[in-house]
Amino acid sequence: MVEKDARLSQGEIEVIKKWMSQKLKQSVCSMCGENQWHIGDHLVASPISPKGVGMMLGEAVYPQVMMICTNCSHTVYFNAVAMGIVEGGKKHNEEKIISGRGDG
C-alpha cells in the first residue's frame, strides 16, 4: 500500500514494472515513437463526476499509475487496483478506492 505521503515505494515500483513487462506487448510512445518511460513517483486519482454536471460526487476515485514518456512527456494511466498496487473497495486517505471493473 502507498504511504500517507503517497510516494510509491521501490517495492511498488518493482510490482508495476513486473506487471507492465507481463501485460504490455509493446510500449512505444503513441505520440513520439520513442520507448523510454518513467513511472510517476505518485498515484493520481480521477474523481467520479455525475453526467452533465460540473460537480464531483465526492469520495470515490479511480487510482492510477502514471507512465510518462521521457522524450515528449506524454502520460498514460493504468488502473492501480487492477495492477494490485491498491486494494479495491478499501478506504485509503479517507477516499473510497474503486477499480472501475464492477468490484468496487
Q: Which residues bind Zn ion (CB under 5 A)?
A: 29, 31-32, 69, 71-72, 74
Helical (H) or strand (E) element with 44: strand 37-47
Residue 2: what residue type? Answer: V
Q: How far is the CB of 69 from Zn ion (least distance, A)?
A: 3
Q: Which is nearer to Zn ion, 19 or 75 (CB)?
A: 75
Residue 41: what residue type? Answer: D
Q: How far is the CB of 7 from Zn ion (least distance, A)?
A: 24
Other C-beta atoms within 10 Å of 85: how many? 22
Supply 70's cell numbers. Answer: 521521457
Q: How far is the CB of 95 from Zn ion (least distance, A)?
A: 30
Q: Which is nearer to Zn ion, 71 or 82 (CB)?
A: 71
Q: Which is nearer to Zn ion, 1 or 31 (CB)?
A: 31
- Displacement of CA 64 from its chain's centroid (Å): 2
